[in-house]
Chains A and B, each alone.
Chain A
């Protein structure tokens, strides 16, 4: 008989060993898949690592992919810590991208640090305001936040499309030949371009550094403050929180807004760091919000691990773009990425639970009826 039981303690080494073993397992399965589709496995894996981390400029590309995932991953982790399932990171990121881009356009001509700073504020506010909707519904009307936050993603996807494709909004480029053929967002002024620093050929965008700073801030907030203590208690048991005199509703709303603000900041970073205009197609195709949920889960909601996982997943995504081509179909790239994610997430179970194989031949025999003699 196989039994799965909860571990009383989670040994520290398992936290490291299990993910490593999971990745090895993933690559073993991937080898079979690659052999079956007649691709040389070792060569493919080398290309994968090359494209993700080793090649010239690969790390820079990986950081570009990792930055939005770090934001959405942190946004998800902040809420999940309190058992609050904010699935709306996607929409909150769009909201932040809209308000961030609007602020950038509005402040054209102002000193760059002011523009950048206020774009961050606007992005965070946009995300927080959007997240406040499911937050209020959850806190005061016990509505399921998974559904409401998810639905708002679709609403925001329509809003962002509308602003560029179906209206003559402030954010849309209306002048020039190109813009009349294909609708696009207005170019942000140069002051609204977020700075980046290059170290040994690795370009670090401001957004990535902000994400790292945020990870530290979130860690400190949750591990070292009264607010974090309340979040932990309420996340574990709402009744215990109420019993202890905590304002559970306000806390739910606050955490939801914090989560939305982080996702919104990720949207503003998309404007300022990378796209330099409101780019609905690019944002809606990237699925940053949903991937952020996976990032948070893999990181076990630990903010520092979120940044690390975002970096790994960014590499994997980035490698995917490079790998796919005439001889290597995009579907196969997806299979490899899926295998790695699936194995690592599956391995999680082994950290929290252990599997016991019970063979009880002695008892089984004793329980069996005595043969009639």
Chain B
């Protein structure tokens, strides 16, 4: 049931993302940069927080009056900074939650990817704790409500000696030191949050922590517009002799607070505990069957480090040579990080299907889907191609073409080494090659689309050789809900290939059957 639910969710996300593609284009699509947006918003919150701290005064009376002063008398800088501070925090909650659901939908949290998911769970708590302590500081009616409800909730836990809520019984009971404590917490918790965010991205390489400049500018303009249209709310001053009246609840941070009037504190803590433990356990509920990790074959590895550069999960490292070969280094794979996406195989210069030895082995290979098998599948698919424009499709299993018939499916489009495309076309196995990957904003293995595009464009080593006519190659980046677009673009590509003059294979297909072992990759 969970997998069908996930599939529906995935299709929902895919449709939403493709819709946003129409407005933003793939480059600026916010759904494709949720993690980076989270980081960006954190820095906005941190920067505006530091600025506000210049004007903020701690103390039972001074706290409110200083916030009132900066919100009203100096609205044009400090007031706007306060609105930025609040709304960027709210957006951070939204971005974090959508990011969480999206990673679940795309099944990017199980197996060796458990680490990022698991370390993301405390982030939720730290974000909420940072925000809630911030609300206390203002000491308006909402702050009073938040302080009382928070302390009542905390008092349910058998941790504190004297009930904290007794500090808010009467105006006389409240000490100015309370604000000092709150300021300390409001600085300390975000610092812990930042540390956890850093840990969160440790098991991915080239973590994107900045959105594109244009999207960043859009967010800043959006925050400014919202700050001018709806300046951050400030209720009347807190008065412990009175019950807070109508308070403007921040529904991003405080959705559970009104529930405390209807649900016992124990049930709320129980729900939060189940939610947290459930999230932590999700990578193993159920555990995903992961293919075996990539394997290094030192006879074919000279430690060139292309696979190290291209691995999206920092699963490959360079280590000193162990086999006495005249190279200083070799690569090693950490099976605890490898998802067997095959990108390393696609980046290895030894991954050449032109090498027609009986046991086609490359420098780094997938045990469950080796290069030799990929070449066999390509040859089998090519043999079944007919018609004037024989187009062979190499398809990422996560994209629109993943379930299509007659295509050669691979875990990631960047698993296809450029020499494979050369092999297909120059040997006349097909008249054209369609590379069908994930949608641009959501490559399942992060860099499959980017690396493939760069290899074809001669921007990333290993390059697709110049001799391969680019008119005979098409890239189709389409999400799982875009089967129709995939079919349309593939058909258009077939037509364009049919219109091309016939390509003379460099080595005729029929003649290749009995060729001796040849390593053409280095030619």
- Bound pair: A and B? no
